[in-house]
Amino acid sequence: MTAFPEVNQVVFEGPQSKNPLAFRHYNPTEVVEGKTMAEHFRFSAAFWHTMRGSGADPFGMGTMCRPWEGPVDDVENACKRVRVFFEFCQKMQIPFYCFHDRDVAPEGKNLAETNRNLDEVVKIFKEEQERTGIHLLWGTANLFGNPRYMHGAATSCNADSFAYAAAQVKKALEVTLELGGQGYTFWGGREGYTCLWNTDMKREVDHLAAFMHMAIDYAKEIGFQGQFYFEPKPKEPTKHQYDFDSAACINFLRAYGLQDYVKMNIETNHATLAGHSIEHELEYAAMQGFLGSIDANTGDMLLGWDTDQFPTDIYETTKIMLCLLKYGGFTTGGLNFDAKVRRESFSPIDLFYAHIGGMDAFAKGLKVAAEIRKSGELQQMVAERYASWETGIGAEIEKGTQNFKTLSEYMLAKGDVEGIVSGHQELYENVVNRYLF
Ligand code: XLS
Ligand code: NI
Ligand code: NI
């Protein structure tokens, strides 16, 4: 049985190809800067969007045509859907996937039945992983969809909601371990607030930290050695999410002694919602040693919410790849397409077009980034900009041999600052563009 009879394996045909079901730039075995493209990207498909995205929005019901879906959302249907997902990943040459517990299996009458449902579906995941060689990049738990989490999960005002979330993450960790998952992600969901009048912020943030410590303790207990990730998002669904951006998350991790266990999973559209760019968020996390994984997507410049579109902007992918190359790339992480097809793109084939576009945009970005790095032009210009730190007073400040008194004496003798040069921003922009067109 095949869910996508019209698609064979999507393969690399080269930049001249006009075949909409072929890669023009993504060539998994092509080596760039000493690694194959497959190793650089570690592409992953998101089960929640690719298999569960219905196309519903606040104004209208689902639109997606998914012929493999049965009339009821039961375990049997869920198992069938898993097989379709693996057919899709295999045809796309996507080596990893990510999922939430509730994406893959329906909730039962109570927690025990829900856990049993999950176990049934996980068996199929295991079979399909073995059949295809596709791996789990990270697992996670949906701690935001059910009404029991209306006030948050770990940060809820209701202790039972916290306890239920703990039970859910316990199970999600077990399942992630069972599937050989390489990571586990915390995304805040509703861990934030909308009205400070009714909110005890300190208590909530303390609870979030306690919750993460419990997860880490339990992971140790069961022998889960995957990497934990924290995924920043400034707002949506709540007005103020506690995991606002890289800087806020890293501060939280350090304040609560979690910094040795958790790295960042950075999402493009979340960065822009925070008023940053993805490259800012990546650079900040990486320079602090917290670069973990990426949720690749893009927002719409004219819309103020998480539109989760597939990335197609080569300028943007070039910037992401420049940062990844600079910091040595992924170890446990990967490039997970946390992206969905538009509501109007309802046919199954659109899932292929969407992922092909994203993978090609990143492959082209990687090639451009590698060219920029090879010439060394930009690095040279930046080095010149900071030249005053290489010798003289600059080098001494960096060595730590100066203080306010000695610097004051230095400046009193010198009289004023010398050697300020232009920032040449426009020149930098032109240099980058030279590699793009
Ligand atoms: C939502 C988040 C979510 C996480 C996983 O905006 O991006 O999909 O990646 O819980
Ligand atoms: Ni995400
Ligand atoms: Ni998102």
Measured between alpha carbons, how far is 55 from 367 in angstroms, rounded to an integer? 34
Weakest mean pLDDT among 81-85, 300-304, 378-382: 300-304
* Rounded average pLDDT over 216-240: 98
With 90 as the cut, is the pLDDT of residue 256 above it? Answer: yes
> What tokens were used for 395?
């080098």
Q: To the nearest whole percent, how much of the chain has pLDDT over 90? A: 99
Q: Is 295 in the pocket of ligand 1 (CB under 6 A)?
A: yes
DSSP per-residue string spanning 249-310: HHHHHHHTT-TTTEEEEEEHHHHHHTT--HHHHHHHHHHTT-EEEEEE-B--TT--S---BP
The predicted structure's pLDDT at residue 261 = 98
Residues contacting residue 210 through CB under 8 Å, at least 6 positions apart: 154
Q: How far apart are CA 123 and CA 168, in angstroms?
A: 18
Residue located nearest, by CA, to atom 3 of ligand 1:
187
Closest of 39, 65, 24 to residue 346, by C-alpha:
65
Catalytic residue, chosen from 103, 245, 295, 308, is 103
Report the nearest atom of ligand 1 relative to the CA of 144: 10
The pLDDT tens digits of the residues spanning 161-198 come to: 999 999 999 999 999 999 999 999 999 999 999 999 99
Mean pLDDT value across residues 330-344 = 98
Residue identifier of the C-alpha nearest atom 5 of ligand 1: 187
Q: Which tokens hold the place of 116?
A: 């049993």
From the CA of 144, which ligand is nearest? 1
- Residue 355 appears among annotated catalytic residues: no
- Please tell me the pTM assigned to this model: 0.97
- Predicted pLDDT at 304: 87
Neighbours of 250 (CB within 10 A): 22
Mean pLDDT of 247-258: 98
Over range 24-46, report the average pLDDT.
98
* pLDDT computed for residue 1 by the predictor: 80
The answer to whether residues 242 and 187 touch, using CB atoms and an 8 Å cutoff, is no
Is the CB of 140 inside a 6 Å radius of any atom of ligand 1?
yes
Annotated catalytic, 270?
A: no
Closest ligand 1 atom, residue 140 Cα? 10
- Give the Å distance between the CA of 7 and the centre of ligand 2: 28
Q: Which two tokens stand for residue 189?
A: 């969901």
CA distance 403 to 407: 6
Q: What is the pLDDT of residue 260?
A: 98
Reading the block at residue 121, the tokens are 């579906």
Supply the residue whose CA is at minimum distance from atom 8 of ligand 1: 338
- Cβ-based neighbours of 413, under 8 Å, separated by 6 or more: none
Rounded (10°) angle between helices 201-222 and 246-255: 70
Whether 306 is in the pocket of ligand 1, judged by its Cβ within 6 Å, is: yes
Distance from the CA of 167 to the center of ligand 1, in angstroms?
A: 20
Chain segment 361-376, per-residue pLDDT in tens? 999 999 999 999 999 9
Q: What span, in angstroms and rounded, lies between the C-alpha atoms of 232 and 213?
A: 18
